[in-house]
């Protein structure tokens, strides 16, 4: 079974020293992998602990809403990370190394609390 925390390790690797021409792409990819490490860890936590049932909403929203009932501070942080990931994956405005580092620290903090 795949360990989603590996995405967090990959995210940290991506930030460290990408070639200059790839730097922003690497930072965006790091933020995105950080989000998915936290999202999947949260999904797994809900499945294991509360018999997660999804309503009509999509999976990203469903995990945030599920966590809101169980660990609301984690849900707030996952939503923050989600916003960061929308920027990384969909918006052309500059994405800095600082944003990638923020995403990875936030993701690590979420994963720690869900372990």
Report in angstroms how near the CB of residue 30 gets to other proteins at its nearest.
11
Which whole-number Å values give the CA distances from 102 to 30, 51, 64, 92, 97, in the listed order? 10, 31, 19, 19, 9
In this complex, which beta carbon is closest to other proteins, that of residue 3 or of residue 88?
A: 88
Dihedral sign computed on CA atoms, order 3, 5, 7, 10 = negative
Report in angstroms how near the CB of residue 73 gets to other proteins at its nearest.
7
* Structure tokens, 58: 């999509």
Report in angstroms how near the CB of residue 46 gets to other proteins at its nearest.
17
Rounded distance between C-alpha atoms, residue 32 and residue 18, angstroms = 16
Q: Concatenated DSSP letters for 1-17? A: ---TTHHHHHHHHHHH-
Report in angstroms how near the CB of residue 110 gets to other proteins at its nearest.
11
Return residues touching other proteins (CB under 8 A): 57-61, 68, 72-73, 75-76, 79-80, 82-84, 86-87, 89-91, 96-99, 101-102, 104-106, 109
In this complex, which beta carbon is closest to other proteins, that of residue 45 or of residue 104?
A: 104
In this complex, which beta carbon is closest to other proteins, that of residue 3 or of residue 73?
A: 73
In this complex, which beta carbon is closest to other proteins, that of residue 1 or of residue 90?
A: 90
């Amino acid at each position: 079974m795949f360990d989603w925390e590996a995405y967090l390790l990959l995210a940290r690797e991506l930030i460290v020293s990408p070639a200059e021409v790839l730097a922003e792409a690497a930072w965006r990819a790091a933020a995105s992998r950080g989000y998915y490490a936290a999202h999947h860890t949260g999904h797994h936590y809900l499945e294991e602990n509360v018999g997660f049932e999804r309503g009509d909403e999509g999976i990203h929203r469903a995990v945030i809403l599920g966590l809101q009932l169980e660990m609301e501070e984690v849900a707030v942080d996952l939503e923050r990370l989600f916003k960061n990931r929308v920027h990384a994956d969909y918006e052309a405005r500059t994405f800095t190394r600082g944003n990638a580092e923020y995403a990875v620290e936030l993701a690590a903090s979420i994963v720690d609390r869900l372990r």
